[in-house]
Structure 1
């Protein structure tokens, strides 16, 4: 009997000790910050197409071309066209030069009614826009006026497109 009481005492003591040492423990935590940053620089590219008027026979000829603009989203820009390479040309009266030495006058406009000349003075005769991050196409409306008497030949000109942003 003495041993039975002693065993119970030992078992009870062991159980009490086990309960006391198996109490739940909690892990400690700490927090901090991770700083993230980036820079997006404004950038633009521009590409002009060809305006092919075709054959001219002293009657008015209208034709269109395209300017492709790609600017960073939110970037404001202006697209200007210079006078071209023809001798004596201005942005209001451009001149193609012929293979036989003559000239053929033409004009470039920002609107389909061909009333708003497309020049190179920002705020006056350029085309303003805001980039979307996607390709934007601007139409150039060209016109060769009637009643000109150029020499026979092939006429060309090169107009520089300037994108300011």
Structure 2
């Protein structure tokens, strides 16, 4: 019989653990809902949020397209409803609703730098006073694009 502790051998080795991170970003959005309204006689202001998560140090730019309604442009966004009737609205980068949000880098987009955590960017919307079309649901789908 071997004396206690003699007969059990051990050996060790080492290994590397690696992770390579590439610049990356994720983007999500909440819906912008102007609610249920009657006559469009005054500004209707609402806001929603984009959530941007980018690797730390990654520079990014976020743009918004004109939306899915036929005839909608960055300068004149439209919601489309019953019988192709439309309601004009606009999206802005600032709470004063003076800077239209588009998709031309360095002109009408928002730029930032990732910090590795979720960053919230507000989207400010306005339906201005206008002739009120027929009752019904009016919608558009806006695409937000992040470039990094």
Q: Same fold (TM over 0.5)?
A: yes
2:132 aligned partner: 149
Q: In the comparison of the two structures, how many residue pairs are matched?
A: 132
Question: How large is the Cα RMSD of the aligned pairs?
Answer: 1.7
**Alpha-carbon separation, structure 1, partners of 2:19 and 2:47:** 41
| Counterpart pick for 1:50 among 31, 41, 52 | 31
Equivalent residue number for residue 105 of structure 1: 88
Query: What residue number does 1:118 align with?
Result: 101
2:82–2:134 CA contact under 8 A, matched in 1: no
Which of 78, 90, 113 is equivalent to 2:61? 78
The answer to whether structure 1 residue 91 and structure 2 residue 66 are counterparts is: no
Structure with the larger helix share = 1
Query: 2: distance between equivalents of 1:48 and 1:79?
Result: 12
Ranges in structure 2 where 5+ consecutive residues have no aligned partner: 1-15
Give the alignment's TM-score, normalised by structure 1.
0.75
Question: Unpaired runs of 5+ in structure 1?
Answer: 1-34
Cα deviation digits, residues 69-128 of structure 1 (max 9, x gap): 000000000000000011111112110010342101100000000000000000100010
Higher radius of gyration, 1 or 2: 1
2:121 pairs with 1:138: yes
Contact 1:97 1:104 in 2 (8 A): yes
Q: Distance in 1 between matches of 2:116 and 2:141?
A: 28
